[in-house]
A and B are shown apart, each in its own frame.
Chain A
Amino acid sequence: MTGALAVYRRELLALWVTPLAWVLLVVFLLLEGGIFYAIVVHFATLPEPSVDSGPLQAFFGQESVLLLITLMLLCPALTMRSFAEERRSGTIETLLTAPVSPSAVVAGKYLALLTTFAIMWAPTLLYVLILGKSGDLDAGTVLSCYLGLLGVGATYLAIGTLMSAMTRSQLVALLLTVFVVFGLFVLGIGEYLLEDGWLRDVSAYLSMGSQMDDFSRGIVDSRRVVLDVTLVACCLFLCTRVVESWSAE
């Protein structure tokens, strides 16, 4: 446990003392700010706002994949260094010869990424504050919006961590992660394209877009939560096995 904590703290430090997290944060906030502005302007021109649709919902998902696209770029960029850099530079050798288990290393790294992800979203609470000043906001909906965001982010980060363990190159890790999360997104689109049947059901179940959509309306569907938790657990388990397998190379 102390091992995982030590890894967690070092990862956080490494993420925030290097320019990467800050550059991502700036790009990300500019992008989100722009999207938020566009959405607010759009809703301000609407004559009759409906009950379950508003700027917050639009921002977090409803009928808009802007946020999902940001996540598909942000998460892979955050995770690409994780293991790839340690293996390229050789520091993985000092890490894995310390009295710490591979699962603790994976857990520490992943939780540090998740924390960084959460920190990056913290400034968007300002948007919520701004919206709350000028209109009514349901606290439950706000909470479910952020829960949905955390679920999708956690999934993408777990995929990214696994991909980072697959290669020594950060670039390859980035591309692999983008490929997988984009693949997942495309699978989700099937919900709107396919005819009724089991394939469409699978698509709907796996759709991260629909997840954001549901959560942004304040619908917390346990199936979505189960999916996220399952994907995260699978990726981290596989990642641990990959780390263990390096000793047999």
Chain B
Amino acid sequence: MIEAEHLAKDYGTVLAVDDVSFSVGTGEVVGFLGPNGAGKSTTLRMLAGFLAPTRGRVLLHGFDMQQQPLRARERLGYMPEASPLYPELKVREYLGFRAALKRVPRSKRTAAVGAAMERARVSDVADTLILHLSKGYRQRVGLADALVASPPLLILDEPTAGLDPNQIREVRELVRELGRDHTILLSTHILSEVEAVCGRALVIDRGKLVAEGSIEALLSRGRAGSLRAVVNDPEGRAEAVARAVPGVKELRFAGTPSARDLELEIELMPGRDAGDAAQALTKAWVEAGVAVRALSPAKASLEQVFSALTEPSA
């Protein structure tokens, strides 16, 4: 559906996007992640054909955006950042205009507008001036616009930016629902959003693609080498025993879940398999008379992965 080949955008003073290549297949819901100013919007604008890449090319549905822009855009629903709309129009008028612009046949326009409003849950403001709408509604009118010609492909630039938690939840629900029958590429700097709705993520930082893969794969890239254990250790031997196990690098007290139990965080040497280490650790503790009540690989949060990938010092 989307093929981005060696995309670069040079603004003269800044290289906003630098040799970014990726593809998004039919039916995927892909998150486009990056800190603010990383080049997310610039990349999406190139994908939607609003900006011409300085180098590289974009193919949508196999059509080159530079060579055949109208064909490439025909089956694309694009929602720009902050969802700019015409304030002087009513929601229904606006969507009718957008449907005509996107070549929805005249006889089907009313139905298409109705269906898009229904899906984006803006039917109740159909005859309200856009000027009077709240940010959440505007954002959803932008989504309705992206949907109005029922394109199989959606590119959404920060669909939840500037919304309150309830609105974020609503938009997220909507995106998840749309993901069942659309290919979606959405950008965000909110990680929980990607975890909630996307199957795969692309991480961009300072114009470069720094990571790509399924959410699980990205998570395991973070701090796979750490374990979390809860032990019952009345004699206080757990720490010394654990330190003697090969592969254990560092050990920290993480808390006391109950009066008798002790929670430990165990950092492993790089390259150690968490399963092997867990096995060795359990054996050592049991032999030393320490009761192991729980032991699991510590799951890195996407936040940690994200900062590891995008922090200047990392």
Contacts and interface: CB of A to CB of B under 8 A. Distances in A.
B103 interface: yes
B81 to A, nearest CB: 8
Given A9-B97, A98-B101, A101-B70, A91 B78 contact: no
Interface stretch (A13-21, A137-145, A177-185): A13-21
Nearest to A95: B101
Contacts of B11: 249
A180 to B, nearest CB: 28
A7 B101 contact: yes
Nearest to A244: B52
A184 B127 CA distance: 45
A14 B100 contact: no
Question: Chain A, interface size: which category?
Answer: 20 to 34
A247 B73 contact: no
A17 B78 CA distance: 27
Q: Among the interface residues A6, A91, A94, A96, which one has the most CB atoms of the partner chain B within 10 A?
A: A94
Interface stretch (B32-40, B86-94, B171-179, B220-228): B86-94
Contacts of A249: 11, 51
Contacts, number: 76
B218 to A, nearest CB: 29
Contacts of A95: 101
Interface string B7-22: 0000100000000000
B295 interface: no
Interface in B50-68: 50-52
Given A97-B50, A99-B74, A248-B52, A9 B80 contact: no
Interface in A59-113: 89-91, 93-101
Nearest to A98: B101
24 contacts: A2-B101, A3-B103, A6-B100, A6-B101, A10-B86, A13-B88, A13-B89, A17-B88, A17-B89, A89-B86, A90-B80, A91-B85, A91-B86, A94-B85, A94-B98, A96-B50, A97-B48, A97-B49, A98-B73, A99-B102, A100-B101, A101-B70, A247-B50, A248-B52
